[in-house]
Amino acid sequence: MDLGAYVRIGDEEIGEIVKKNNIEVPRLRGYRLMKCEYPLSETEIREMCFDSEVEELEHLIEAFPYFSLNPQYYEYCSWTRRFEEFFEYKDKNGKTHIDWSKIHGWKRKRLKFAIKKRKRRIREQYDMWNKYAGREDVLYIHARIGGNNWKYFDGDELTHQPWFLEKVDDSFDGTYCDIYAKIGGDE
């Protein structure tokens, strides 16, 4: 969930732009005017990718069944916390890392695969963000129609709208997506 976009739902300037361009998106979660946004640096994207490695390890540990790529649910308890502490270590700066020497066989294979998929999603999301950051004629729309929700909430109908540019699923929670819309001036 993009909280920065969420707080702008009631913004009058954005409301006028949305109305003027006939933009209607189901399960709306927020807007951003891309003219007010800046591209992320390669260093920032790499840092997000690095941080996501530990997050993916924790997701696999908290998954039920244990280390499942497609879990039925997630378990947060003292047991999963002990496993996370076992497979992680902190460097002298307090940054958490994966202790790869303790992860072997099928667990290592699944973790590497999960990390690879997550890094690809991060790259896709922020490459698209950087493509439109700073543009006067683009509105960012955050909605809860990512993943399979796209087809259930008629996302394909949105692609036929004259304002639609592109869409990408959120890298952290695939049930959300970022939609980029071409807008006219806000005079």
- Higher pLDDT among residues 3 and 160, named by residue: 160
Q: Cβ of 171: how many Cβ atoms within 10 Å?
A: 21
Average pLDDT over residues 148-172: 92
pLDDT at 187 over 50: no
pLDDT at 6: 86
Average pLDDT, rounded, for the chain: 92
pLDDT at 8 over 90: no
| 58 token code pair | 């924790």
Domain boundaries, the chain: 3-37+134-182, 42-123
pLDDT at 7: 82
Amino acid, single-letter form, for residue 2: D
Pair 175, 2: CB distance under 8 Å: no
pTM: 0.86
pLDDT at 185: 54
* H-helix segments, 63-136: 78-87, 105-132
pLDDT at 129: 96
CA angle 127, 128, 130 (to 5 degrees): 65
Average pLDDT over residues 37-62: 95
Q: How far apart are CA 159 and CA 74, in angstroms?
A: 34
pLDDT at 186: 43
Average pLDDT over residues 10-32: 91
